[in-house]
Each structure stands twice: as structure tokens, then as C-alpha cells.
Structure 1
């Protein structure tokens, strides 16, 4: 009889432990916040030209608000950490928007961009997606950063979204998959056009042509009229052509993360 009572007590205890554990696990799944790593350039000039550059403001501000409003955590990172430069031209009319205006007057957002996390110190496996805003600065640092190149490959091969806009796709030039094939080979994408670079007379100051390098690697490059929004999604890779693509690209990433 005593053994029967002991057995009954033990089974009852285990039953309630199972309920609590299951409830905690369910709560974790419900409350788990999706995380997006937003990666900026640390470079602020265009080589020997002396022209100032950095991250294009709209391509930083729009995804920040669109993604945080959707309930996702956005963490800013850069190769050097600390304050990441914003392209001065993008802070002037006619390139400013409600997003950039709100960002400038948002102490939390400004604090984050002035204190970006050092990219190599971050465990990027704890993030669900990356968003890389454009601007010319990254052609000089992120495009040749081996850690960044490996990061993009790992996200892509694990099926986690890789969202890039404008010149950010320059990073894709040297990304190879584990099988040795270029990531962009046979992949549909877009990016800032040669004619867009030429229109603002910066094409001769660049280390390389984004459009031509992607085509050379076998990418299926698609573009529309200069400065118009254009977003291409092919598997985990999500690309936008120009600054006007920052909003629809961020919205596409937002919706993809909901699935």
C-alpha cells in the first residue's frame, strides 16, 4: 500500500512538472522576439577623392522604424564599432524624408548609431536576419571584409534573410558558398545602376562598378528607371535598387520574418 501511495505521489509530481515545463516552453516560443542585425559601414571618405561618404540616411532610418514598429529588435553594428558615419549628402533636401527627420529627433535611435556594436564581437547566430543599408562607404570596408563575407554566406545557407539595398550588394561580389560557387551565380537581384552613379558624377571615384561585378559573377541583374523603387526577392536574398527601395525592401523583410 505504501509503495502504491509513493508511486501515485511521484506520478502526480511528474505530471505537474511536465505541465509547468510545457507552459514555460510555450511562453518562450510566443514571446521570442525576432532580431535583425543592421550592419553599417565605418568608412567616411571615398579614397583619394576626399569626398565624404558613409551610410545613406534613408536606407538606415526607414528599416529601423519599419522593423522596430513590427516588434523586432534591431541591433546596429559596424566593422569598427562606435559612431558610424552617415553620408552628409543624404542628410540634405531633397534626400530627407519623414523617416530621417524622426531619426534625428529620436534620442534612442541617435544613441544606437553613435554606439554601434563591433561586428566581430557579435554572435550573429542569435539573429534571424540582416539588413545592410547602402552608401558608398561600404565599398571600401564591408565589401572586402572577410568576416562580413562569411557572415553573409552563413545567413544565406541557413535560409535566414539577407536584405541589401543600393550599394550594399557590393558585398556579394566575393561571397562564395561552401561548394565554391559564387552566391550570386544564377540568382535574381538588383542594385545601384552604373547610370545612377554617373548621374551624380561619382562613377569615376569608385573602386569598382557594382552592376558590372555582379553580372560578371553570373548574377541575373534586374533594374528599372533610375531612382525608382525596385525590390527583388530570390530565396533568402532580398535586394533593393536605390534609396527609394529602402521602404519596400524593409516592408518585405518585415513580412518575411512573420512567416
Structure 2
């Protein structure tokens, strides 16, 4: 992370943080990088603020009175159309192994552990780069395909180990089956939406696919769908190459995990 990371002009930020000291520190750091953020003290007020004013980014504490950050996230997602939803970043001081994966699976766009730094804030507020996604290289032979399938399953195993603190092959199988089922349906939804230029539905499908990929530890695939979701949110549509690459990667992952 670099302190020199450029931020978009006119960035509108909402801080949802109950601790007065943490709030003071975060607002001071935001001012240091040229952002006068709004701030509220619990999730309920965060929902009210995020649905009454357009924000680019919401920095959301997790453990708060009245309404916690996860409840607030779900409320905001439910109340706002996907193309009007801000980027919502989870921030907590209570992270343990697997917290990041659980937060992304819940629906947060990103996750950072306290205490925050200027560099972390810059990264949290910067839109993900729309670089060409690259989950996998197309296999050149059956042997390569077997290696790729084994590598993907090992990624899922590592994710399960991070979540549970131990290996659980039965859970790995269940998780893969759930990913395949949910992703097949969501890819159909995304394809139909893209072909009909239904950008709101595409963003919603991309969000589902991002969560599904995060749920099984396929971080690169989750990033590809995040690129689609962010493009729709920021530009009102998504570039053809970004959408088609995410779809191809997902179909390839489904095929390999079923092999």
C-alpha cells in the first residue's frame, strides 16, 4: 500500500463508528487526505444516512449498539438499487483468522482491520482497478486441467481450514456443491441481464457471484465479479471484456470443480 495512491476527486464518504476516539482518529486521517467525511454512531443511523444521501464509500464498523455493521450492510443493500449502492467497507478491531473471508461472503466490498493507517484508508477508498482478470490459464492438456482442478480444490480446502481451524473434507465437498449450484443459476441471471442491458440485475448477479466465490476461497474469481459490480455502480454499465472474462472464469471453475 502506498501513501501516494491517488483518490477520485469529490469522493463522498460516510463513517459509521460508535467509539468516539476511533471516530475522531478516522475523521482526522480522512481530513489529512483531503476528505471531509460524514459520521454517525451506529448502524441504524448509518442506514438512514446512506439511503438519504449518495455516498461513494461507507466505512462500516462491525460491533455497534442499536444495529451492528452486518445488519446495516444488509439493510442498505435491500433498500438501494445495486447501481446506487455505495462501496461498503468493513472495519473492525476484532479480526481473527477467516474474518476477511466471512466479511466478503456477507456482502462487504472489502475489509480492513483496526487500527487504520493513512495508507490503509487510501486503499480502502480507492476503486478496485479494472485490470484484466486472470483466474486461470486455459489448460493445454488433460494433465494441466487435472492440476488446475486440484489447485482449485486446494484453495477451497485452505479456505475451510481458515474458517474452521482444521481440515474438514466433507465440508469442502458440501461447499463446492453449493458453489456450483448457486453459481450456475447466477451465471444464467448475469448472462440474461447483460444481453438485455439490464445493468441493475447484472450488478445484483455479480454481487451474488462475488459472494459465492469468496465463500469458497476463490479470491481471484471474486475480484473479477467485483470489477463487474463496481463498473456498473460507477459507470452505469460494464465493459464487454470484463463481463465475458468473469463469466468464462466462472464456467471454467464450475467445470473444474466438478471434475
The answer, yes or no, to whether TM exceeds 0.5 is: no
Say which one has the larger Rg: 1
Structure with the largest fraction of helix: 2
For the superposition of Structure 1 and Structure 2, which TM-score range results when normalised by the shorter chain? 0.3 to 0.5
The two structures have a TM-score, normalised by structure 2, of 0.34
The two structures have a TM-score, normalised by structure 1, of 0.34
Structure with the largest fraction of strand: 1
